Structure 1
C-alpha cells in the first residue's frame, strides 16, 4: 500500500449501512424464518462467493451447498450478535458468516496442510484465506479462449497468480468483491472497512494494475 492509499483509506469511516427497522423487528420475533428468507434471496451471491474462493485442492470433495448450509446454521446461532450490533445490513453480515465458514472448512479439510492454504488477512476483524490471487488467476485464465490445453492453463494460472500476489491484499479484495462477487461499491466499502470514496479509488487503481498485468502476459483479450 502506498502512502496515498493509506491517506485515502483513513480519511473517512466506512459507510454505516443499517438494516430496515421492519426487518429487524421481524428478526426479533421470528429470527430463523426471516434469516431463511433473506438467505434464500441472496443464496446465488453466496454460492458465487464460495465457488470463487474455494481452494481447488478441496473443491472436488466439498460441495458449495454444504458450505452454505453450515453457514446458515452458524448465522442462526449468532443472530443475537447481529441484533446487538446492527452496524451492517443483514446481507453484509450473512456474507461475512459465509466467508468465515469457508475459512473453517479449509482448515478442517486440509488438516496438516492448512499452513499451505496461505497466510490469512484480517478485514474488519474477519479472517480471510490469502488465496484471492489464486482465485482471481484461475477465473481470469479460464475466461481466455487462447489458453486451451490443461497444462498451459495451469502454468499460466500459476504465473498470473504470482503476478497478482504482488498487489496488496486489499487491492485483490477490491477486485474480487466488485468484479467477481458483484458487490456494489458501498457494499465493498463496508466489507473492507474503508470509505466509499476510498473503495472506489482503490478499485479503479487495482483494476488498472490488473489490466497491466494481463497485457504483460498477453491475456488482455
Structure 2
C-alpha cells in the first residue's frame, strides 16, 4: 500500500494554471491579476464575511487583501497554494480590521479563575437549521465569532489561532469554549 496520494491530472492542471497566473502577475500582467481575483474573490469574501459579519467591511477587507497580495507577490514562495497564502492575508486583514475597531481578545490571565469546562450536549437533541445557526453566529461578539470561525470553519488549531490573534493558546481555547456556550444559549432562546 502506497502512502503517497495519487495526483489527479485535473487538479495538477488547475494548480499549474494558478502558478502560471501568479508568475504573470509578477511580471505586471493586469489580466492575470483580474483572473486570480475572479478565481478567488468569492471564497475569500466568504472568509472575511465569517469573521467580520458585515458585507461592507468584508468587501473592504477583500479589496485590501488583494492589493496586499499583489504588492507582496514576490514574497509568495509556492510552499503552499496561492489560495492558502491569500486566505491567510484575508484572515490577518480581517483580524486587524477588528482590532482597529477595538475588539478585545481577552487574555484569561487577566481574569479570576472561571470554570470553563466544555459541556457535552446530546447532539441528536439539538437539530437546528443551518440558517438558525448562521444567525446565531452573527449575534456573537466579534472576538467570540472570530475564534469560533477560525477553529470551526477555517480549520486552524488553537496554537495557530493564538499566533494569529497574538494571544495565548489557553486564551484561544477559553474564547472558543465561551463562544460555543454563548452560541448554544442564543440557539435555545
Larger RCO: Structure 1 or Structure 2 (Cα < 8 Å, ≥ 6 residues apart)?
1
Instruction: Find the structure with the greater CA-based Rg.
Output: 2
User: When the two structures are superposed, what TM-score results if normalisation uses the length of structure 2?
Assistant: 0.49
User: When the two structures are superposed, what TM-score results if normalisation uses the length of structure 1?
Assistant: 0.43
